[in-house]
Amino acid sequence: MFWDNLDLLISGLATGATYALVATGFTLLWQTSSTVNFAQGDFVTLPAFAIIALHAAGLPLPLAMLGGLVAALIVLGAGFKLALVDPMLRHGMLPLAIAAIALGVAVQEGSKAVFGAEAFAFPGVPGGFDLGPLFINWQDMVTIAAAVVAVIALQLFLSRTRTGRCMQATAQNPSVAQILGIPVRRMIMLTFLLNAALVTLAAILISPTTLVKFDNGSSIGLAAFCAAIIGGFNQVRGAIAGGLLLGVVENFAATYGPDQYRAAVPMVLLIGFILFRPQGLLGRATERAV
């Protein structure tokens, strides 16, 4: 019993780690440019498809992953910001959020038209090892390790480098940051590029388990939104804690709860948090401005 639960905990942490990456990117976009990116889940599917296509075209896997990253930086990072966010943000948050929903629909339907409705296998790390009575998948270990390294690197970048601190200043108060001479526009662009890198990493880590399908983005997106809110919405650490918690709870609920309601777990957790701890796991209670 104990070992079964430990097993569930480890695979839950692995899923949760990828949620945390997606949720972190989501939170960064929200902080620096009030973009509620409803297409964030589909942003994970796109690099996965790109990598599969490049790999199928004959590129070795590492190169294909690099190609997927470059494509994501160009399309989901710079392209998304320049073509959609910049012109729309002056109309307020709402039109941009709706446009992001439409973008999600376009991405899903577009990838269905190109790749069809079947699920594609994605190369991962096969096998595992025995640890006492426990069998541990290499894939889970690699996922957790890669996510931890990425998160630590991100935290170090944000708190120790000059650019990272400028980004934090931009996130906290863009106008004051501007007055202090921080190149706010460049910092915002950097956030979008960072988000593109994070979703690409998440795609590489989660796709061997979930396979790659055109509508995967819906559930990943919902999980990432919930993780961000559970964590406190306004901070990167919160998004990570929320992602891990959600991944674990989801895994336990799927084993011990009714299987048909697996998709409802993030929702129930979300409503519970909004009711009893609206500031999130790590957030501080803030006064409503309005």
Site residues, other proteins (CB under 8 A): 36, 38, 84, 87-88, 91, 93-95, 97-99, 101-103, 105-106, 109-110, 112-113, 218, 222, 225-226, 229, 233, 258, 260-261, 263-264, 266-268, 270-271, 274-275, 278, 288-290
Smallest gap, in angstroms, from Cβ of residue 146 to other proteins? Answer: 28
- Which residue lies nearer to other proteins by CB, 176 or 264? 264
Smallest gap, in angstroms, from Cβ of residue 187 to other proteins? Answer: 22
- Which residue lies nearer to other proteins by CB, 284 or 288? 288
Q: Are 147 and 20 in contact (CB under 8 A)?
A: yes
Smallest gap, in angstroms, from Cβ of residue 96 to other proteins? Answer: 8
Smallest gap, in angstroms, from Cβ of residue 189 to other proteins? Answer: 19
Instruction: Read off the tokens for 240.
Output: 């990570």
> Which residue carries 């976009």 as its tokens?
29
> Which residue carries 């650019």 as its tokens?
163
| Residue 217 phi, psi (nearest 5) | -55, -30
Smallest gap, in angstroms, from Cβ of residue 229 to other proteins? Answer: 6
- Which residue lies nearer to other proteins by CB, 27 or 139? 27
- Which residue lies nearer to other proteins by CB, 68 or 221? 221
The alpha helices in the chain, defined as continuous H runs, are 2-33, 40-56, 61-72, 80, 86-89, 93-115, 138-160, 162-172, 174-179, 184-210, 216-231, 236-256, 265-276
Smallest gap, in angstroms, from Cβ of residue 85 to other proteins? Answer: 11
Residue 154 burial (CB count, 10 A)? 20
Distance CA 60, CA 203 (A): 17
- Which residue lies nearer to other proteins by CB, 66 or 97? 97
Using DSSP's 3-state secondary structure scheme, residue 267 falls into helix
Distance CA 221, CA 224 (A): 5
- Which residue lies nearer to other proteins by CB, 49 or 225? 225
